[in-house]
Structure 1
Amino acid sequence: MFIAAGIAILLVYALLVYYIGRSLWKWMSPKPARWLKAAYIIILTVVSTSFILGRFFGGVTILSMIGSYWMALFYVLILLLPLTHLLLWVMKLASLHSHRTEKRAGITVLVLSAAIIGFGIYNAYSPVVRSYEVTIPKAADVESLNIVMAADMHFGLLSGAGHAERMVEEMNRLQPDLVLIPGDVIDDDLEAYLDLGMVELLKGIQSKYGVYTSLGNHDRFDGEITELIAALEQSGMQVLYDETAEVQGITIAGRRDKQDAGRAGLSQILSGRDLTAPVLLLDHQPNALDEAQEAGTDLVVSGHTHNGQVFPGNLITGALFENDWGYLQKGSMHSIVTSGYGFWGPPIRLGSRSEIVQIEVTFQP
C-alpha cells in the first residue's frame, strides 16, 4: 500500500513537471535548435529530481540546495500557470489571442514568480517577535518569568550560520529568564549542524535559568540519538527526552516526538512531580493537548506546523490540529504554537512568517 501510494505521488509529480516544462517551452521563441531542446529536457530532469536525489544521497549538498529552490519555483508555477492558461483561453475566445500574447504571458509569469519567491525568502529569513501574556494560578519561587521560545530552526545548509547568529542575537536582546526550544533544531543532518559551527553559535544564548529543548521529527539522522543529544547539550541546551527538570519551583517537562515509538505517557513522565506547582511542557507536535490538560500541565509550547509555511498549507494544518498556530486556552491550560524560526524544503514562507516567541508568565496563586 505504501509503495503504491509512493508510485502514485511520483507519477503525479512527473505529470506536473511535464506540464511546467511544456508550458515554459511553448513560450520560447519558435523552433529553437534541436540541441537546445535536448539541453532543456536534461536540465529540467536534473533540477526537478534534485530535491529527491539530494535527500537520498545525503552527502551531495549541491543537489539539496538546487532542489530546495526548485521546490519553491515548482510551488509558485503550479499556482500561476493554470491561472495564466485560463486567462489565455478567455482571450482566445474573445479573439484577443496571439503568439505575442503568449510570450508576454510567459514573461509575466516568470517575473511574478521571481517576485513571489523573493517575498517568500524575505518572510523566511526575516523573523518577527510575537508576544503573549499568560497567568498561571500556582505559586513558584518567582513572581514572573520572561520566556523566549523558538522551534523548527532546521539548522543546516540553507537555515545556516547567519540565520542561527541572528536568532541568538534576537533572543539575547529579549533578555530571557528561560529559553524553550520544542524541537526540530536540526534538519535531519547532524553533520551539517556540526560543520557549520552551530555548537559554538548556540552557546551564545544568554538565559538566566538555562535553555531547555525537546526533540522533533526532524531531529533524526543515521547515527544514534545519543550523538544528537550530546551535540545539543554541547551547544548549551539541556535536552529533555521524556524527562523533567525543576527551575525556581517550576517543573519543566520535555517529551519525545509523537513519531518516536518509545514515547512515554505524560502522566508517567510527571510521576513524582508536585502538580500543585507550575508545570511547563515542551511537546514538538501540538496533537496531545487533551493529554497535557488531563496530566496537569499549565503551559505547553509546540512547533511542527510551520503555520503551513506556504499557502494553502495553513488551511491543512488548521484542519489537522486543534491549535496549529498562536494561542489557545483549554480550561486552565495554555497552549502556544509557533510558526517556527526556520523552514523545511523550499526556503520560502508565503502566508506565514519566521518568528521568535516571547511569553510573559505571571504566577498568581
Structure 2
Amino acid sequence: MKRRVIVGFVFFVLYNAIVYYLGWNVYHWLELAFHIKMPIVFSIVWLYFAYSVVISNFNERFRITKVVSCYWMILMEYGLLLFPIANILLWLVPSFHMLWVGYIILFIFIAIIGFGSYMAYSPVVHRKTIQIKKQNQTIQNFRMVIASDFHLGILSNKNLLQKFVMRSNAEKPDIVFLVGDIVDDHPYWYKAYDMDEVMKTLTAAYGIYGVLGNHEYYGKAIPTFVNEMKKSGVQILRDETICIADSFYVTGREDKTNKSRKSLQQLSTMVNTRLPWIVMDHTPSDLETPVELGVDVHLSGHTHLGQLWPNQWITRKTFELDYGYLLKKTTHILVSSGFGFWGPPIRTNSRSEMWVIDVELYD
C-alpha cells in the first residue's frame, strides 16, 4: 500500500511537471503571436485539458470532455517530442525566431492530425489464403472475416462501424470474428448512438463471434455489454469452446485482464483434433501454448501496432508478434492492428483494417 502511494505521488508530480512544461511553451508562443496576456484564464483552460482524461471518467455522458481528452493525448505525445527539439534549437541558434519555430510546430501538428485522421477513418482490407492439413467431410474451405479493437464510442462511431459491416458483408464470409475491445470501455455510447442497428445487419453463414478485450473489463459493465452484443447478433465466447456446423472448433478466451481465466489446455479438452481449431485471444501475450496444443488458427488484436509513431518500438519489444501474419510450425497466427482506434481518432503508425482469410483444407 505504501509503495503504491509513493508511485502514485511520483506519477502525479511528474505528470504535472510535463503539463507545466507544455503549457509554458504554448502560453509564451500565444503571447508572442497573438499578444495574449491572460495567464489565469490560460491556466484554467490548460488544466481542464490536462485533466480531461480524469474528468471524463466521472460520467460516461461527459461527451465534450471525452473528446478533449482524446486530442490532449496527441498534444502530450508529440508535444514531448517536438517542444524539446524547438527549445534546443532556439538555444543553439538564437537567430531563429520563436514565433516562426512555433508556426512550424503548429503546421506539423495540423499535418499529423490530418494524416492521422485519414489513416484512422479510411480502413483497408487485407486478404490471405492459408492451408490447413485437416480432414473434413462437410466443407473443404471457408472464409473468415477478422477485425478487432473497434473501441466503439464517441469518436470511433456508427459511421465507422457501417464501413466495417459493408466491407464484411461484401466478402460473403462464412464466419466473422470480432477479437476484443469492441466497445470503448462502457457500452453506453454503443447503445446511445444506435450502433446495434448497424451491427444487426452484419451477416455470416455460420455466425458472428467475439471475445472480451481489456477495455471491456475497464468499463466494468461486462454483463450489459454481452447482452447488447447478443441483441446485435454477436455471440461473445467467454472461456468457451464450441463446434460449428460439425466442421470446425472455435475457442474464445477471456482477456488476460481476468486473472482467473481458464488455461488454453482446459479449453482444449473437447476439441477433436481431426477438425480445424480456431482460437480468439485478444492479447497476443502467449503464442507458444497454442502452437504446442496444435491450434490451427490463432487470432489476436490489442497492439494497434502502436497506433502513434514511435509507440511501435514498445509493442515490438513487448510481443513476439505485434502485427501481421506468422506461420509457427502448423499454427497460423494473425495479430490485427484493429478497425478502430483508442483515444485520439488518429493513426500515424498503422491504418484501420479488416482481414479476409480464406481457409483451404487438405488431407
| TM above 0.5 | yes
CA distance in 2, matches of 1:302, 1:91: 48
Q: How far is 1:224 from its partner?
A: 5.2
Whole-angstrom distance in 2 between the partners of 1:110 and 1:208:
50
Over 3 Å counting, the alpha-carbon distance change for 1:33 and 1:259 in structure 2 is: closer
Residue in structure 2 matched with residue 6 of structure 1 by the alignment: 8
List alignment gaps of at least 5 residues for structure 1. Answer: none
Q: How does 1:51-70 map to 2 (within 5 A)?
A: 51-70=53-72
Question: SS in structure 1 opposite 2:360?
Answer: strand
Offset, 1:282: 0.6
2-side partners of 1:362 and 1:244: how far apart?
Answer: 22
Q: Tell me what 2:21 maps to.
A: 19
Q: Which amino acid aligns with 1:331?
A: K
- The answer (yes or no) to whether the contact 1:76–1:117 under 8 Å persists in 2 is no
- Please name the residue that 1:208 is paired with: 205
Q: Is 2:148 the counterpart of 1:151?
A: yes
Is 1:310–2:312 an aligned residue pair? no
Contact 1:285 1:302 in 2 (8 A): yes
Within the candidate set 103, 106, 118, 1:107 is matched to: 103
Q: Say whether residues 1:128 and 2:130 are aligned partners.
A: no
Residue 228 (structure 2) aligns with: 231
Report how far residue 32 of structure 1 moved: 4.7
Query: How many residues are matched?
Result: 358
Task: Return the offset for 1:326.
Answer: 0.3
**What is the one-letter code of the residue matched to 1:46?**
Y
The 1:87/1:59 distance shift into structure 2, 3 A limit, reads same
Please state whether the residue corresponding to 1:246 is helix, strand or coil: strand
CA distance in 1, matches of 2:80, 2:17: 11
Paired amino acid for 2:142? L
In the other structure, the counterpart of 2:76 is 74
Distance across 2 between alignment mates of 1:315 and 1:77? 18
Structure 2 unaligned runs (5+)?
A: none
Q: Which amino acid aligns with 1:308?
A: G
Q: Which residue of 2 aligns with 1:356?
A: 354
1:246 to 243, 250, 264: 243
- C-alpha contact 1:144 1:360 (8 A) present in aligned 2: yes
The one of 253, 259, 267 equivalent to 2:257 is: 259
Q: Percent identity of the aligned residues?
A: 34
Cα distance between partner residues in 1 of 2:43 and 2:269: 60
Do the aligned residues in 1 keep the contact of 2:148 with 2:180 (CA within 8 Å)?
Answer: yes
Query: Equivalents in 2 of 1:123, 1:2: separation in Å?
Result: 38
How far apart are 1:82 and its partner, in Å?
1.5
Please point out which of 120, 135, 138 is paired with 1:139: 135
C-alpha displacement of 1:33: 6.2
2: distance between equivalents of 1:210 and 1:275? Answer: 22
CA deviation after TM superposition for structure 1 residue 276, in Å: 2.0
- Map of 2:163 onto structure 1: 166
3-state SS in 1 of match to 2:57 = helix
Q: Please state whether the residue corresponding to 1:27 is helix, strand or coil.
A: helix
CA contact (8 A) 1:255 1:282 kept: yes
Q: Is the 8 A contact 1:172 1:205 kept in 2?
A: yes
**Could you tell which deviates more after superposition, 333-342 or 184-193?**
184-193
TM-score normalised to the size of structure 1?
A: 0.93
- Secondary structure, in 3 states, of the residue corresponding to 1:219? helix
Distance 1:4 1:125 in 2: 41
- Cα deviation digits, residues 31-89 of structure 1 (max 9, x gap): 9565x222111111111111221124433222111111121222222221122222222
